[in-house]
Structure 1
């Protein structure tokens, strides 16, 4: 229930930290965004929750159970996740080098974990509000009850998405996260790896920092089941002027708009009406969505800044591929 309440009460937001980084850069008077990025300390606020903020917020909320379960705090932790792994065996083999040499890993995602034992049988509970997962996933080493097997994560517009979590057969210090998406009878797969042996102590400095320059931004509201209600999303690239807004109005409506249209003296009434509907369904203050998108539009006109942040993104991608 706490996980589902969190999904409903907090939007998933990678737009807020994107704008905040830019504002701090402009205020710093530094000329190099790359140099500033190295020195910048990411902020976690109650308004701007990426997977890091959501996992930390959930862990904080679960402190209320300390009266009934005094030791719960020592079992709850944030764990790291590497997305879209090419080779599970190759990645898990890196565990042997963790304590002796640095590894160039992205660690682009994190979630909350609780370790437990049932009569000598070990397992973990995983909570992933960052990926809109509305259930607490149980992963048992022996895959017996109460192990959570494949489950439907979302189903919309003929796109059926399923998740499954299981301990890696080679190293039980990792949980393998498999995703399969079926669209028009064609199936695609995705595999991520979650490191559950130790708590992830650098989620803000690594994962949140990585997220700051990721070339896809979104601001999304969810219901208690993790279904997307309303939101906006767009890609970060040079000469891009387009974003997508979606909301509920006799079914899900999805509309493409241009940032430049929101920077005009007079804005199209129909656009304003649609943004107002989305704003309300995202539970934002009146006019907040419009002002946020206008700030994004101004940022995307700064080509020098974009070139530098895209260069950082490219460097991170190359480093992780070479690892």
Structure 2
């Protein structure tokens, strides 16, 4: 189970020219600061009041408690690439100009906008220099503490954004989802997180602790489950990934920071979107403090291990290997993280792509990244077969899992859900940090969405087109 940017006039010219050469258009990025949920303009929808962080960390005074790191960062003060008072996060949104987000070119007939990155002539952000490994370990300890707290405090949630998408579409009274999808202003907020806003959130929290880290942390793109890494890298060299010929979907986002310990170079990877509760260290020489293989999750029927290393085909990429062990059988997958440049279309491409993905989930994680409660469901073409799975921690450390048909949530006003459904919601809701009423209403809303045969059919058709486009990757 697993954004709005400012560009130079030269950048705009290049984007407009690329749009013409691809037979597409460059859509102006609206200035939304902060970005908010699409439900905000619907007076009939009452948004549940959830925890919103005002003090992003529990550290009272980072400058005093972490004076060594503060001094290290002060020594390497670089010319800021953006205004020093950039508001990385606000009450319920993010200043997306701080993350350099723009809209990508959208060629005619292409199922997604084309991804885009910062200038290829310059490396992504500055490289943070450590005098010795102990300084690096001190910073990673601080970062991991902030990361683990964030995992506990947030959900991974592609459910509410999907409901927002559906309601916005229905309000337009249009019948063609594909044209609506192209012009939909993708909402990002601090309540309903997927990988992109989780990346924004951890950067915002770390920059509040150490403002200088804004010069080093950056958002990076990831292509999942690459068939042939060498072919993918060669394709990048031949076409460039911001070409329609590349056929990439960039369905995942992480955070990276380039660094050096003396003369040794590496990159730190943060991946809260896949519930990774550690700051992963990737050294070019693969020597300490290189992380190597580690266990991400372990259940009776499945063990999942991760490993990150520089790609042997190009140091522009980090290979993320995943090993799944079921009984005596092991299977492997490899994804490619592009670290050479800052990813500028995380919202326009990656969030948009996930809106039409055929699997949705709402998950609670603990500080170590263990997913212990949530719900998930596939989108199916026959809406009569639509179902969801609930799971949560039961007594005696036993995992409770229940598969429910969505039809169980079709009840008239004033009528209760079936008792067997309520029994699960009563136990699940506190583990999702939701009231039983909020969880019940969310499930009813999902029932409405997945029962709309026309809408679900169009979502699956767009998802299929994206899959065909990226099949060779």
TM-score band, normalised by the shorter chain? Answer: over 0.9
TM-score, length-normalised on structure 2? 0.66
- Identify the residue that residue 85 of structure 1 maps to in structure 2: 226
Does 1:242 pair with 2:387?
Answer: yes
Does 1:153 pair with 2:272?
Answer: no
Larger CA Rg, structure 1 vs 2: 2
1:70-219 aligned within 5 A: 70=212, 72-96=213-237, 97-98=239-240, 101-102=243-244, 103-219=246-362
Runs of 4 or more consecutive aligned structure 1 residues displaced over 6 Å after TM superposition: none
* C-alpha displacement of 1:214: 0.4
Q: Aligned partners of 1:230, 1:289: CA distance in 2, in Å?
A: 13
* C-alpha displacement of 1:286: 3.8
Does 1:62 pair with 2:235?
Answer: no
TM-score, length-normalised on structure 1? 0.96
Q: Aligned partners of 1:87, 1:130: CA distance in 2, in Å?
A: 24
Cα distance change, pair 158–49 in 1 and its aligned pair in 2 (3 A):
same
Contact preservation (8 Å) 2:317, 2:339: yes
* C-alpha displacement of 1:101: 4.2
Q: Aligned partners of 1:152, 1:100: CA distance in 2, in Å?
A: 34
- Identify the residue that residue 315 of structure 1 maps to in structure 2: 465
Q: Larger strand proportion, structure 1 or 2? A: 1
Does 1:30 pair with 2:30?
Answer: no
* C-alpha displacement of 1:167: 0.1
Q: Aligned partners of 1:285, 1:129: CA distance in 2, in Å?
A: 25
Moved more, 89-98 or 6-15: 89-98
Cα distance change, pair 153–100 in 1 and its aligned pair in 2 (3 A):
closer
- Identify the residue that residue 410 of structure 2 maps to in structure 1: 263
* C-alpha displacement of 1:95: 2.5
* C-alpha displacement of 1:153: 0.5
Q: Aligned partners of 1:20, 1:101: CA distance in 2, in Å?
A: 30
* C-alpha displacement of 1:66: 2.5
Contact preservation (8 Å) 1:276, 1:287: no
Contact preservation (8 Å) 2:224, 2:252: yes
Does 1:277 pair with 2:427?
Answer: yes
* C-alpha displacement of 1:100: 8.2
